[in-house]
Amino acid sequence: MAVLYSAHPGAGDDPQPVSDDALDAVQTAATDAVQAATDTMLAATDSVLAATDRVRTATIPFRQALARLGVYLRGDRWFAQLIRFALVGGLSNIGYFLLFLACYGGGPQLANLTGSVVSTALANELHRRLTFHASDRVGWLTAQLEGGGLALVGLGITAGALAVLDSLAPGLSDISEGIAVIVVTAGVGTLRFLTLRLWVFPTGGPVRFRPWLEHSARDRSIR
């Protein structure tokens, strides 16, 4: 038989005996409580795992759709190329802005020239490698010369269109002129995309011979 002592020994109280049945009952109750808590945790874990499996199963179509979208966007269909073209244009504009700020200490003209040249060269290279996947068909020098030439032509078209607009409708408001600039810029961008896709970086097969710009070994080696 076990014996329990008073909480304050030495106080003169006699030890209080506790029966083995009472101790067994306490141990059994504690064991049952631990087992019940364990069962509850296991049930909760099973519920979480089941919910996770349901979510994973439910998202399978979504993940498959994302995978198909990724394959499409990396492909060479015209709309996928147009999306990449727009992304490259946005990146080049950000690069121009940062270079303009970095070089502004030398004057606005120098900053504009530096930003324009570097951002245009970057855009041409990204179009060659990323937008049109033409690094194996078009050399670096060819892309820079022809892409840069197109950029200059587009700039001239935009400037000429705005000059004609100012002469024909000098009383346009700021909002109307801004809308006109957006329309002209969008049109020039569309023409640039089509020219790059069909002429500079044609999809499929080698680039045709250009009598005014031979593809030298040096041009082909820079990739």
Distance CA 99, CA 97 (A): 6
Hunting for tokens 């990449």 — which residue is that?
Answer: 84
> What pLDDT is stored for residue 1 in this prediction?
46
Per-residue pLDDT tens over the stretch 27-76: 787 887 888 888 888 888 888 888 888 888 888 888 888 899 889 888 88
- State pTM to two decimals: 0.66
Higher pLDDT, 62 or 211: 62
Distance CA 150, CA 79 (A): 21
> What pLDDT is stored for residue 206 in this prediction?
55
Residue 204 binned pLDDT confidence (cut-offs 50, 70, 90): low
